[in-house]
């Protein structure tokens, strides 16, 4: 009995799916765009964004320029967003804004164009091109619509994007030290400080700059060592001046003392 009931339910589901597919195919074959338009709106209201997108993409070339075109393009952009096709959605929102700049939905479309780029951006360990593009687009949105209802969310997106870029820069700088490319590490630490002057990573990187310069001096030709050990001393003093209570001072001081001893020895050897 149970098995028979399950088979019966399965048949009903199959019939319903077949009926639904047949109905949708019939809509697609219709040559009346208004039928597809009304059906698309009905699917959209039911949150069936997949079928909405198919119908609206088919009629978009026809309705563009008509009053219904605005509704189709805006809804299509959201269909793509809800279907997690964020790059397509971003392009569609931007196309809507550029086409219907005077629309009541233009401001929202501009925001969603930038927000879709933000959503699709990968983690900080990967390429951040889309993060930068999304952050710049969001800043342009705020500049253009300073009193927008989306302003608070836009600011949050910018903050989170900056934090992601900051983490990316921090990881990249540390990677040079990890692979023992000490000269590149020192340059990367300086670049990071210039790009993120308020970062909470600056204290750690100021210490790692001392470490990197010390390791660089150790592996340098003797003719360059005095200069580079002197740089270790300078970097140590910068750490002390900028972070007098740093937990890294004790370890940095050892490198400072060793650098002084190395300089004295090198000078005595050459005298």
Q: Give the start-to-end residue ranges of the domains of the chain.
A: 180-271
Sorted by sequence, the CB contacts under 8 Å of residue 106 that are 6+ apart come out as 96, 97, 100
Architecture of the domain spanning 180-271: Alpha Horseshoe (1.25)
Would you state the pLDDT for residue 24? Answer: 82
Instruction: Give pLDDT, residue 30.
Output: 82
Stated pTM of the model: 0.78
Cα 53 to Cα 48: distance, rounded to the nearest angstrom: 9
CA distances in angstroms from 248 to 57, 65, 198, 216, 234, listed in the order given: 60, 65, 19, 19, 16
Token pair of 163, please? 């934090």
Q: Quickly list DSSP for 19-76.
A: HHHHHHHHHHH-S-HHHHHHHHHHHHHTT-HHHHHHHHHHHHHHHTTSHHHHHHHHHH
Q: In which residue ranges of the chain is pLDDT below 70?
A: 1-21, 271
In tens, the pLDDT along 3-58 reads 554 444 444 444 444 455 678 888 778 888 899 999 999 999 999 999 999 999 99
Confidence (pLDDT) at 22 = 75
User: Of 15, 21, 88, whose CA–CA distance to 48 is shortest?
Assistant: 21
- Check residue 150 and give its pLDDT: 96
How far apart CA 138 and CA 223 sit, in angstroms, is 51
pLDDT at 196: 95
Tokens of 142: 């705020």
Q: How many residues does the chain have?
A: 271
Structure-token match 């090198």, residue found: 266
Residues 164, 131: contact at Cβ < 8 Å? Answer: yes
């Amino acid at each position: 009995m149970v098995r028979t009931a399950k088979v019966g339910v399965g048949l009903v589901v199959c019939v319903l799916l077949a009926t639904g597919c047949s109905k949708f195919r019939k809509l697609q074959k219709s040559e009346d765009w208004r039928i597809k338009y009304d059906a698309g709106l009905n699917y959209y209201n039911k949150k069936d964004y997949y079928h909405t997108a198919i119908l609206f993409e088919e009629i978009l070339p026809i309705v563009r320029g008509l009053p219904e075109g605005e509704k189709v393009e805006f809804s299509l952009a959201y269909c793509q967003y809800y279907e997690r096709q964020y790059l397509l959605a971003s392009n569609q929102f931007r196309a809507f804004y550029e086409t219907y700049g005077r629309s009541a939905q233009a401001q929202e479309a501009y925001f969603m164009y930038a927000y879709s780029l933000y959503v699709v951006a990968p983690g900080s360990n990967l390429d951040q091109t889309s993060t930068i593009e999304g952050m710049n687009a969001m800043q342009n949105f705020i500049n253009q619509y300073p009193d927008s209802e989306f302003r608070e969310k836009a600011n949050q997106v910018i903050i989170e994007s900056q934090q992601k870029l900051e983490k990316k820069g921090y990881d990249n700088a540390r990677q040079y030290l990890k692979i023992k490319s000490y000269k590149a590490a020192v340059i990367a630490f300086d670049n990071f400080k210039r790009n993120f002057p308020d970062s909470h990573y600056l204290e750690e990187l100021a210490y790692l700059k001392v470490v990197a310069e010390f390791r660089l001096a150790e592996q340098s030709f003797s003719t360059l060592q005095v200069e580079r050990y002197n740089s270790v001393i300078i970097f140590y003093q910068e750490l002390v001046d900028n972070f007098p209570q740093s937990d890294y001072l004790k370890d940095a001081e050892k490198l400072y003392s060793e650098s002084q001893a190395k300089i004295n020895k090198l000078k005595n050897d050459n005298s």
